[in-house]
Amino acid sequence: MDICFRNTVLYKVVADISSLPEPDRPEIVFSGKSNVGKSSLLNALADNSKLCRVSGQPGKTRLVFFFNTDDRIFLVDLPGYGFAKASIAQKEKYSELVDGYFGVNRPIALVLHLMDARHKPGENDRIMLRYLSEQNIPFFIVFTKADKLSSSALAKQIKENLSAFEIPLSVPVFCVSSLKKRGVEELRVKINGFVNDMTV
Ligand SMILES: Nc1nc2c(ncn2[C@@H]2O[C@H](COP(=O)(O)OP(=O)(O)O)[C@@H](O)[C@H]2O)c(=O)[nH]1
Ligand SMILES: [Mg+2]
């Protein structure tokens, strides 16, 4: 049976790696730079704009949010990397939490790695995708804020963005606008297909 994304509620907010919830269900993780649109996409998938706080200020969130979707999966909203204004101590705390999360053998089913469709991938994006490939963690690439470009500029930019990765990309690539709800249903369908394949 398909997961009903609209049936998503906040489950736990984690500030410290020692307080992660019981790893009792598959986790779908939102990763990507601060301000790329992780919280907005989570809200769009759940069709609930009040679910997680969308921030105009990059780097505000230094917590991991676990959402219970349909009592079947956790959606995990990681803090974003690359916020210039955070102090060194905050950055260390951040990477401790993200590295910690990836380092403790969570039941990660899928990572949605988000990148702003308008910008070339950064070093952190390359590091992340290389890491996921090496660890054999399944991931989808999701280009966000598609509404900010015309469709021809978007196609050209995405081709360019993808060429920045040296790893073979036989990975599903999506292009979404959480603002205009474009590409969101397609992503729900593909995530469901993925989860269904995984559990048969
Ligand atoms: N135009 C546009 N803006 C977006 C979209 N998604 C997010 N944003 C904006 O980008 C900013 C950061 O979004 P947020 O979801 O908080 O990013 P996060 O830091 O990755 O969780 C906010 O000002 C959002 O309104 C989108 O699809 N289109
Ligand atoms: Mg966020």
Measured distance CA(176)–CA(140) in Å, rounded: 12
- How many angstroms separate the alpha carbon of residue 178 from the centre of ligand 2? 13
Residue of 98 and 180 predicted with greater confidence: 180
Pairing of strands 64-69, 73-77: antiparallel
Quick: pLDDT tens for 60-93: 557 889 999 999 999 999 877 654 455 555 555 5
188 domain residue, yes or no: yes
Q: Judge whether 116 lies within some domain.
A: yes
Paired strand residues for 85 = none
pLDDT tens profile 103-136: 888 999 999 999 999 999 988 888 888 888 888 9
Ion ligand 2 residue ranges (Cβ < 5 Å): 38-39, 61
Cα of 24 vs centre of ligand 1, distance in Å, is 30
Residue 66's domain comprises: 8-199
The domain tally of the chain equals 1
- Asked if the structure places residue 117 within a domain, the reply is yes
pLDDT of residue 84: 46
Residue 3 lies in a domain: no
Instruction: Summarize the confidence of residues 154-172 as an average pLDDT.
Output: 86
User: Does position 45 have pLDDT exceeding 90, yes or no?
Assistant: yes
Dist. CA 158–CA 152, nearest whole Å: 10
Average pLDDT over the chain reads 87
Specify the pLDDT at position 62: 74
pTM: 0.91
Cβ–Cβ < 8 Å for 44, 181: yes
b/e 122-136 (16+ beta carbons within 10 angstroms → b): eeebeebbeebbeee
Taking the C-alpha atoms of residue 67 and residue 73, their distance in angstroms, rounded to an integer, is 8
